[in-house]
Amino acid sequence: MDLTYRPRRLRRSPSLRSLVREHALTPCDFIYPLFVHEGIEIQPIGAMPGAMRWPIDDLVGEVERAWKLGIRCVVLFPKVSEELKSEEGTECFNENGLIPKAISRLKKELPEMTVMTDVALDPYSCDGHDGIVNSEGIVLNDETIENLCKQALVQAQAGADLVGPSDMMDGRVGAIREALDEDGFEHVGIISYTAKYSSAYYGPFREALDSAPRSNTSKPIPKDKSTYQMDPANAREAITEAQLDEQEGADILMVKPGLAYLDIIYRLRQESELPIAAYNVSGEYAMVKAAAERGWIDEKSVVLETLLSFKRSGADLILSYHACDAAQWLKE
């Protein structure tokens, strides 16, 4: 055949392929999500094989393991005791609460590790929502933000490097930025859950934290989070959310979930110069684990390909429960 250009010329050997490779993964790309609880035992999470709820003492060892693998950021999520939950989620700003204690311990034991937090009420709410639910079943925006600001301040005081508002209340990034700055925490960054969709992929995470919406005999409770999380059918709306978060002072923008929303990551990459994070969520993790356990896929190959797809679509950072495994595989 008389072909001027043959793309296969540059695929002929591993060394040639590496020369022209457009994207690459490193352990520094990963943020490792960790579940924390007040108990003394490590608790496996049924819907997330390999993931655990960590007591603080054991959490330190797991974070040290991640550091040795090259991971430089962890994010903490609390499994809160039922008796501490309330309609307004006030435990979220308890200075002696689980997350402040965990942050303080980690920064003492491993000060160089970047510690990110979650800013939302759902782990602390007896209603299971990210905001305060009034007597009519409406999730209140402005009243919720008051508690989120208090929560972010307590986390910053404990030593958090990044606070991550995941609640999707309007205006919360600007309010948190102002609260942090006024209290002398202008150095603490905000990694905003900018385009967080009302997704079916969050089920295993909600099992891990017992944070799903729950019925309440005293008032109607919305069955899902669609009045504040984004509609999966919408893409242009994500640009609006990104522009608002950037104007309000976000340092990093996040898309959640990641795998089903690669187009959103790409759109935000075209619109913003800020770093973009992708959240490889619990449902995505669980599906890979389930298929691998049945021998239907090669877990290592599928995980690394999936994580690479986030980088290719424009993500700079990837939150993934596969983080430690992936970091180890990249060293092999």
Provide the pLDDT for residue 212.
Answer: 87
**Is residue 275 domain-resident?**
yes
Nearest Cα to Cα of residue 320 among 122, 136, 51: 51
- The count of domains in the chain is 1
Q: Is residue 226 part of a domain?
A: yes
Domain that holds residue 251: 23-331
Query: What is the identity of the amino acid at 110?
Result: L
Whether 321 is in a domain gets the answer: yes
- The reported pTM is 0.96
| Predicted pLDDT at 176 | 98
DSSP state of 93: G
The set of catalytic residues is 196, 256
Report if residue 107 sits inside a domain: yes
Nearest to 198 by CA among 223, 179, 221: 223
- Strands, DSSP E only, in the chain? 30-37, 43-44, 52-54, 73-79, 114-119, 132-133, 139-140, 162-165, 189-196, 252-256, 276-280, 317-320
Per-residue pLDDT tens listing for the chain (332 residues): 999 999 999 999 999 999 999 999 999 999 999 999 999 999 999 999 999 999 999 999 999 999 999 999 999 999 999 999 999 999 999 999 999 999 999 999 999 999 999 999 999 999 999 999 999 999 999 999 999 999 999 999 999 999 999 999 999 999 999 999 999 999 999 999 999 999 999 999 988 888 888 877 678 999 999 999 999 999 999 999 999 999 999 999 999 999 999 999 999 999 999 999 999 999 999 999 999 999 999 999 999 999 999 999 999 999 999 999 999 999 98
Q: For position 217, what pLDDT does the model report?
A: 67
Prior bond of 165 cis (ω within 30°):
no
Q: Is residue 12 part of a domain?
A: no
CA terminus-to-terminus distance, the chain: 40
Q: What is the rounded CA–CA span in Å between residue 35 and residue 204?
A: 12
Token code pair at residue 279: 């959240």
Residue 16 inside a domain? The answer is no
**Dihedrals φ, ψ of 139, to 5°?**
-80, 115
In a domain, 18, yes or no: no
CATH of the domain at 60: 3.20.20.70
Residue 14 lies in a domain: no
